[in-house]
Chain A
Amino acid sequence: MIKIKVLFFANFRELLDCSSLSVDLKEDANIRDLCDLIKDKGDSWSSLFSNVQSDLNSDPITSLNNKIKIAVNQEMTTLEYSLKNGDEVAFFPPVTGG
């Protein structure tokens, strides 16, 4: 088993009423597996994570098609990323600073 820290920001944090979470996953799990696991935590979780898709052909940061942004250890990534013990995964909406 591997242990992952999961963070949620902005409206995702509010929707889920959760800013961080610790999750145990099987070895060689990827982010898609993480989404499959946490979507069963409740209605708001399934509404956010059931249809999570990652357009591998587009820039993971700037594609607006991709409404859920994913970072691992503070670098943008995609659903296919293979997780390691101790990874910090963050889910957030497209950024709106400046």
Chain B
Amino acid sequence: MKLHSFRLLPVDKMEAHLPINKQIIISTEALDIVALNQNIQFNQGESGASVIFTGNVRVSKEEQGLTSMTLEHYPGMTESLLDSMLNQAIERWQLNRVLVAHRVGELAPGDPIVFVGTCGLHRKQAFEAAEFIMDYLKNKATFWKKEHYLLNESKQERWIESKQSDLDALKRW
């Protein structure tokens, strides 16, 4: 992941964007978690707490034989939905920095799919905002996942179906 290609600003340019810095990244390249974390940790004392979450391609018992995952999205609509989610989070938890990065394209087991970083005055705000963003992203942002398997030497694929448990998570907000 090249830092410059994702609208991540060099640290010395960030000051102009304070107090609220909001970034949305949809990337066909691997997410550079270290660079994203460095970006979210920029702080001149305005953030008493920062929380980061990373969701990765999992191969547990349920996904045995999974070789890769393809992520597709609706360009334009995804960005505007994420933007409106982040605006809600900024207002509700008084965030001063928030970043969402999401992969599209071909992913391998272990690859990061999504990165969420939130910064606010207190830890409760940063934790809750990160959970809210993930719950909304999973239910509203226009991404779709397809899993590719190799089972008994035969290639198989399936589109992941949405889960009731993800939907139920929205009731909290």
Contact = CB atoms under 8 A, between A and B. Distances in A.
A10 B170 contact: no
Interface residues of B, number: 29
Interface in A59-98: 61-62, 64, 71, 74-75, 90, 92-98
Contacts of A11: 144, 159
A9 interface: yes
Say what secondary structure dominates the interface of chain B. Answer: mixed
Interface residues of A, number: 18
A98 B167 CA distance: 13
Contacts of B77: 71, 74-75, 90
A93 B140 contact: no
B137 to A, nearest CB: 5
Interface of A: 7, 9-11, 61-62, 64, 71, 74-75, 90, 92-98
A-B complex: 4 closest residue pairs judged by Cβ atoms: A97-B143, A10-B144, A94-B162, A74-B77
